[in-house]
Chains A and B, each alone.
Chain A
């Protein structure tokens, strides 16, 4: 027995392709073992009048567990970046930790004015794992003053690598600031209370506080915190920034960055790929519209839900009952609502021809006005303007569940033979469809809300899935221009887009396999 082509195709896309992707991503249970980098940071200890250097690094795996067998960290120091590094101290497992997942060490045996480099080393599974080298750091003896911080057991490290730049791809009046978070800003570090952002027009100040943010990173990939300053920023004017980290009464400030100037951009650089794809789609649609206008026959596959419209209205006519049409719960600014109204035009024409009563309860005033125009025109086209009545389309409420309750009440009391749900729906979809199902009405649904589709499929006789809702207008009217646009959407959209998608997936996979990533891959990112 031969399996139908459709089932084979469906099996390929829904079962085999995901299976291959899943296998490529790794079999279950396989987990890679990785050690986090130490991410060693060194600063001249704030508040130390004698001058010392404070180190901070993130603990290795195992250091945050109760097993005291974890080896000691060895602190290495050198006067030169290339070494040699000599051991100057250890931090044992039992040493109190700075934060739940970081360690600190203070080197007081330094001379002010000299520069130093540091590394941290640890034995992991018999082999020595070394951190990055931090430095050069010159210890500075802090002069006693009013604003001098008291040296605490845990030293607050400031945010580093502060960068301020004109916010990309916007219409100006905005500057983005990003920084590498303070090492003290760690998960479960309850004492860490966030960052203050300060701004001035001149580097020497005075600076004003323009905002504050909580701890943690905004971009986990790069480990940075991002703040967007849109607070009365003028285009073309120079600004300077610094950021303070706050921890348990201590404050640590970053260096000052600037000048930075805000401006507006003429093209959104992150949307180049979208523009190309849109161009392909538009070209394809216009090409097929032209083809259709020149009289070429275009094949459009059968859509069961739309084929059933005549049958559904016919059934209501035979039973002498009403047809209900529910155009969703969204307003006229939603394309799904507009697509729903095009189907309403066809349904209204049929009810006019069959002399069947039609009711359209709506949840938006503007939809009511538009739906009335659509129904009125359809009755006119069917040659039955005398059958049209404004009260066929009526408003219930804007409220989602109020509308669901209202329609449910009408359905239960009036028991229509046929119900259409065409448009945008949220949680009310199943409440409506199940009530319709309970009275035995034939139901045809159509929506582009992916989360509601399973509910409609389960409760309705026919469902227009996503794009089928948008195809309805062309499918039902058979007008060449609309059919051409539908064909263009299919060819330009599905065929070209999916071919490009497969090509890009293969390219990215190959690039990543060969270690080429970063900027090259970002070219294909769509924002």
Chain B
């Protein structure tokens, strides 16, 4: 039964969502909404599993003085500070409102750190592009040229360059950039999207029918 009950639950919930997509009549839509709510409740309760696991692993590291245990101390202190500030020093249920200690930590500590990580993406894009656009062979050279046209075409500089090169009406770099993006890029993207959609449906079907069960802990 350890395997059967999860499989039955998966099949019932999965089929409800599929049937509800085609039959909007009550109670299918209601059931689908209810299952979504259940998932949210289970996920919200499960957050404690994760949080306690994080604390346990970090405390273990500090206790055993494992390598890089200092970072575990930072994790523990950060965790405790935000939890204590949120639960006990931020006005109870109104902890998310502006002006609370929790809000102060969110605005002044969490947001800048998060923004810093996101901003680093620019440098990573530059280094990845540098590697990807090296003209090592014919295909990479085509990629490089296409990327050059698209990037230049998206800047005001492209019109100036097009005029300098006496490019005819309709063949300016900005226009070529749009053509690459609207036709060649869209064609490739849609091919991938169709494949993804088919794979997604097929995998969902395998899970609903119980053919795919690896996620339950078996193969």
Contacts and interface: CB of A to CB of B under 8 A. Distances in A.
Interface of A: 13-15, 17-19, 21-22, 27-30, 169-172, 264-268, 271, 274-275, 278, 281-282, 285, 289, 331-333, 335, 338-339, 341-342, 345, 349, 362, 364-366, 368-370, 373-374, 376-378, 381, 391, 394-402, 404-405, 409, 413, 427-428, 430-431, 433-434, 448, 450, 453-455, 457-459, 465-471, 473, 477, 481-482, 485-486, 488-489, 493-494, 497-498
A267 B211 contact: no
A124 B103 CA distance: 63
Nearest to A501: B194
Interface of B: 21-26, 28-30, 39, 42-43, 46-51, 53-54, 57, 60, 67-68, 71, 113-114, 117-118, 120-121, 124-125, 127-129, 131-132, 168-171, 175, 179, 182-184, 186-189, 191-196, 198-207, 211-212, 214-219
Contact of A17 (B187, B195, B211): B187
Nearest to A346: B219
Given A29-B169, A381-B219, A450-B189, A285 B202 contact: yes
Contact of A434 (B57, B127, B207, B219): B127
Contacts of B30: 171
A275 B117 contact: no
A14 B188 contact: yes
B contacts with A: majority SS:
helix
A301 B211 CA distance: 21
Contacts of B205: 281-282, 285, 485
A27 B29 contact: no
Contact of B196 (A17, A172, A282, A450): A450
A274 B46 CA distance: 35
Given A14-B191, A268-B21, A413-B68, 17 more contacts: A15-B184, A22-B182, A264-B24, A266-B25, A267-B23, A271-B22, A285-B202, A365-B46, A397-B54, A401-B113, A401-B117, A402-B113, A413-B67, A431-B120, A458-B128, A482-B211, A494-B195
Nearest to B187: A18
A61 to B, nearest CB: 20
7 contacts: A345-B214, A365-B46, A366-B46, A368-B49, A413-B67, A450-B189, A494-B195
A contacts with B: majority SS:
helix
A395 B202 contact: no
B140 to A, nearest CB: 11
B196 A331 contact: no
**A285, A289, A362 — which one has the most chain B CB atoms within 10 A of its CB?**
A285
B23 A467 contact: no
Contacts of A282: 205
B16 to A, nearest CB: 13
Contacts of A169: 24
A395 B51 contact: yes
Nearest to A14: B188
A189 to B, nearest CB: 30
Given A22-B179, A467-B199, A481-B211, A431 B46 contact: no
Contact of B202 (A264, A338, A366, A489): A489
B23 A268 contact: yes
A18 B196 contact: no
B170 A22 contact: no
A237 B68 CA distance: 68
B215 A465 contact: no
Nearest to B206: A485
A90 B8 CA distance: 76
B23 to A, nearest CB: 6
A459 B128 contact: yes
A289 B211 contact: yes
**B23, B53, B71, B202 — which one has the most chain A CB atoms within 10 A of its CB?**
B202
Contacts of A398: 47, 50
B169 A374 contact: no
A430 B128 contact: yes
